[in-house]
């Protein structure tokens, strides 16, 4: 396949679910036409490519790692293949690249140099969680990770709750798996009892998927499998 | 196919591109197992179903319309099939239901009654535009439509620009096709010359797709086909 020279933003699975669950045929087709990749994690990227394009010659491909440890001055060189006229793919560790990962930095350079950027359809845990939360989708904010220190974290939760309640703007944030349980406890202890809280885990995994919206007070007695998996939290 | 009784959030195409461009195989498979739909627009929903599941018996299906004209007291009854144990699908006019459409109202009821809600993967113009903008994806706000009256609109743009510049939170909003040109003119006249503005149109249409990020001052001389199609605007 002859793909136009452009930056292709390639979504990666967010659970063990295979490509058929999370990416359209055209996304798979585009992946087959790309040999140069800029990725958050090389191992994850190779594994996803093998699942999406079985039989692809992975050894003929190049991978540049763009993680939060990458120095900014290293990034422009990653687009060399594009400047030679070859398509380049960008993949994050999971989900849609350019959202909640460092991928946007390379896109900013491509845009500045006038290259085309093509976003391909795939799973976004944030958006899927929002769709299933029942919360306002006409105004929402993604806040990334909240501060870790207790007092700052509590203050952040109170601020988000205020914005959600007073302005109806849904507040979304994420947490790393091993801190999920503590985050939920802090939320239950901090939010007003009738503030609606949605917790979403295993979003694209039909067997373990849980996306549950309840008033904060009711979360006290609700059991949910939170360990070992990324979670999205939403305040409505 | 025997689908679990749940609310399935079914994405709809956002351009003329067919299902293979925008929905995974599993989304199509789920659509084949549903007979009852809650939709923003019945005509669009039927057309999309015919494209996604050729040969489906559309006359045996039921459609309830949930648009911004629907009275809130009419919504709970739309979930009757679910209460009888049958799966229900929710579709908006275009893109992911529950985001920038009235679909969240029915999800809120389903969540309150303890039903499972399953978000299916598909195209979201907001998220795809964000991925390709090069703007911060670790903090962003979707603002829906801005006010229409000139002075309020200008004030809103200035407020969004301030948040984007001072806090690095990407500001996303949408406009109806026939007002796109005027919106771009107002943005160029209002934003500081070096504020980055991204305009995204025909996002999933390979031939007409344009997702361009430029400093506001450079948009003055940039031609872009804006009429007749929905656009997403982003301030970075």
Q: Which residues 33-72 of B are in CB contact (within 8 Å) with A?
A: none
pLDDT, tens digit (0-9, with 9 covering 90-100), for B76-94: 999 999 999 999 999 999 9
Query: What pLDDT is recorded for position B28?
Result: 95
> What is the spatial distance between Cα A14 and Cα A29, in angstroms, rounded to a whole number?
20
Q: Could B110 and A134 be called an inter-chain contact, meaning their C-beta atoms sit closer than 8 Å?
A: yes
CATH 3.40.1010.10 correct for B7-119: yes
Query: What pLDDT is recorded for position B53?
Result: 94
Query: What pLDDT is recorded for position B212?
Result: 97
Tell me if chain A has a CB within 8 Å of the CB of B131.
yes
Identify which of B22, B98, B103 has the shortest CB distance to residue A121: B22
Q: What are the beta bridge partners of residue A36? A: A62, A88
Arithmetic mean of pLDDT, B129-142 = 97
Number of residues in chain B: 236
Quote the mean pLDDT of chain B.
Answer: 95
Please determine, for residue B150, whether its predicted confidence score (pLDDT) is greater than 60. yes
Q: Which residues 166-185 of B are in CB contact (within 8 Å) with A?
A: 169
Q: Are the CB atoms for B122 and B94 separated by under 8 Å?
A: no
Give A213 to chain B, closest Cα distance, Å: 6
Place B206 in a pLDDT band, splitting at 50, 70 and 90: confident
Q: Are the CB atoms for B60 and B35 separated by under 8 Å?
A: yes
- Higher pLDDT, residue B228 or A157: A157
Give B201 to chain A, closest Cα distance, Å: 12
Place B1 in a pLDDT band, splitting at 50, 70 and 90: low
Using CA coordinates, name the residue in chain A closest to B115. Answer: A212
pLDDT, tens digit (0-9, with 9 covering 90-100), for B33-54: 999 999 999 999 999 999 999 9
Tell me if chain B has a CB within 8 Å of the CB of A142.
yes
Give A125 to chain B, closest Cα distance, Å: 10
Query: What pLDDT is recorded for position B118?
Result: 97
- Which residues on A lie below 8 Å from B198 (Cβ)? 111
* CATH class of the domain at A125-235: alpha beta
Identify which of B97, B204, B212 has the shortest CB distance to residue A131: B97
Place B224 in a pLDDT band, splitting at 50, 70 and 90: confident
Residue A224, burial from CB neighbour count under 10 angstroms (0-12, 13-18, 19+): middle
Query: What pLDDT is recorded for position B17?
Result: 87
Query: What pLDDT is recorded for position A81?
Result: 97
Query: What pLDDT is recorded for position B141?
Result: 98
Query: What pLDDT is recorded for position A174?
Result: 96
Using CA coordinates, name the residue in chain B closest to A213. Answer: B111
Place B226 in a pLDDT band, splitting at 50, 70 and 90: confident
CA distances from A107 to A131, B137, B211 (A): 26, 11, 11
Q: Which residues 200-229 of A are in CB contact (within 8 Å) with B?
A: 203-204, 206, 209, 211-214
The residue ranges of every structural domain in chain A are 7-119, 125-235
**pLDDT-flagged residues of chain A (< 50):** none
Query: What pLDDT is recorded for position A206?
Result: 82
Tell me if chain B has a CB within 8 Å of the CB of A81.
no
Q: Closest by alpha carbon to A78, among A86, B23, B199, A28?
A: A86
Query: What pLDDT is recorded for position B233?
Result: 98
- Which residues on B lie below 8 Å from A101 (Cβ)? 137-138
Query: What pLDDT is recorded for position A1?
Result: 54
pTM given for the model: 0.96
This complex has an ipTM of 0.96
| Best B103, B138, B203, B206 residue to mutate vs chain A (most A CBs within 10 Å) | B138
DSSP 8-state assignment for residue A33: T
Tell me if chain B has a CB within 8 Å of the CB of A25.
yes
Residue B20, burial from CB neighbour count under 10 angstroms (0-12, 13-18, 19+): middle
């Amino acid at each position: 396949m002859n793909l136009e020279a452009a930056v292709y933003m390639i979504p990666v699975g967010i659970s063990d679910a295979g490509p058929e669950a999370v990416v359209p045929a055209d996304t798979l087709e585009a992946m087959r036409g790309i040999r140069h990749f800029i990725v958050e994690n090389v191992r994850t990227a190779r594994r996803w490519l093998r699942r999406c394009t079985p039989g692809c010659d992975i050894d003929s491909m190049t991978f540049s790692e763009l993680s939060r440890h990458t120095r900014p001055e290293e990034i422009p060189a990653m687009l060399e293949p594009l400047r030679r006229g070859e398509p380049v793919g960008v993949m994050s560790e999971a989900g849609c690249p350019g959202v909640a990962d460092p991928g946007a930095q390379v896109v900013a350079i491509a845009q500045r140099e006038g290259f085309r950027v093509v976003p391909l359809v795939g799973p976004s845990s944030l958006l899927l969680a929002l769709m299933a939360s029942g919360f306002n989708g006409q105004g929402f904010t993604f806040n990334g990770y909240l501060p870790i220190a207790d007092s700052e974290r509590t203050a952040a939760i109170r601020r988000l709750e205020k914005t959600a309640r007073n302005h109806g703007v849904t507040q979304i944030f994420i947490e790393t798996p091993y801190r999920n349980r503590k985050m939920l406890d802090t939320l239950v202890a901090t939010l007003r009892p009738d503030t609606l809280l949605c917790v979403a885990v295993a979003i694209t995994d039909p067997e373990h998927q849980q996306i549950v919206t309840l008033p904060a007070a009711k979360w006290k007695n609700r059991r949910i499998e939170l360990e070992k998996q990324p979670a999205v939290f939403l305040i409505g």
